[in-house]
Amino acid sequence: MQYILSFLCFNFGILGEPIDKRQQGGNRLKFIVIYRPSIERHPMFGQFKPQVVEQALGFWERTLSVRRPPNRKLLIERGCVEPVFYTDGRTGKKFCKSQCKPQAKCYDHPVPDQFASGCAMGSGGNDIRDVYQDGPGFAPNEYVLFVESENKQGCTSGSTLAYAGPCEMHPTTDRPIMGSINFCPQKVQIQEPGKTMLIGTAIHELGHALGFVKSNFALMRDQDGKPRTPRDPVSGRPPLNRERQYEASENTVRRIDRPWVTAAGSFTKSFLSFVTPALLEEARRHYGCPNLDGVDIENEGGTGTCFAYI
């Protein structure tokens, strides 16, 4: 079993400067990898990096392209020490009243200044001053990934090899643009058959970092790039449920009641199922079941598996 991060909702990056056509690198997904000290000091890092991590990254880079990427650099918002920004009514400039955060964060990972936005401080009007400048940012087809190997809470299960998840989303398309993966230190290996299992696990976990987590279901879009779940007209985000997670509409995920027959008798059982057209079409073809009404989501296990798999 792999453990994945459980999130409430995500931060959204901001758009930077337009990209010159000569600087465009195409739409193919490309990872910018930041190896944290915890994995760099692992005794197997020199072999683990090319034989496991880069193999998994290569799989997704060959598999995915970014659809309709806006022609703008991406930045991670630095934010204020206080939990809110203020906006100058005259200029529309956002600023902090107490202090700018010295560094943007992806969970507990410090975001390099080159990928972080600028930040201003002041009390409004002519008192606003820039404390930090925008970094150069990263391209619209890129994904910044932190790779670590820490014995954190997610590694307490003896069967957990790694876990991953996103931390930042694209401001206009909702695509995950930054995330992390943690390889449990005691499970890092390069000998077979463990190495092949770890490559498969890394590919699987990167799928979560690329967006397959419960809170992202509400961010799914249709084939024309339009949100499947209606958005709040003020925030532009999907509605939140009681767990403070984004709630997907019934055209994406639906609760389906089905008759269930067991040795103890018959009863009705509820399933949370995907009902998006493309997924239903493929599932009906795969299972040879033209009347399939939904693709059921895993409903057992802890926070790392329940509602995180199909």
Q: Which residues carry a binding-site annotation?
A: 204, 208
CA-nearest of 19, 30, 98 to 62 is 30
- Residue corresponding to tokens 């499947």: 228
d(CA 258, CA 294): 11
CA-nearest of 137, 81, 76 to 105 is 76
Catalytic site residue from 77, 142, 168, 205: 205
Establish whether 205 is a catalytic residue.
yes
What's the one-letter identity of residue 268?
Answer: T
3-state secondary structure of 168: strand
What angle separates helix 194-209 from helix 54-63, to the nearest 10 degrees?
A: 50
Backbone phi and psi for residue 57, each to the nearest 5 degrees, phi listed first: -65, -40
Classify residue 164 by burial, with Cβ atoms within 10 Å: 0-12, 13-18, 19+: buried
User: What separation, in Å, do the N-terminal and C-terminal C-alpha atoms of the chain show?
Assistant: 14
Q: Which residues carry a binding-site annotation for Zn(2+)?
A: 204, 208
Query: What's the half-sphere exposure (Cβ side, CA atoms, 13 Å) at 105?
Result: 8
Write the CB contacts of 235 (distance below 8 Å, at least 6 apart in sequence).
Answer: none
Query: What's the half-sphere exposure (Cβ side, CA atoms, 13 Å) at 47?
Result: 7
Structure token digits, residue 208: 């979560």
Structure token digits, residue 271: 């399933």
Query: What's the half-sphere exposure (Cβ side, CA atoms, 13 Å) at 236?
Result: 8
Q: Mind telling me the catalytic residues?
A: 205
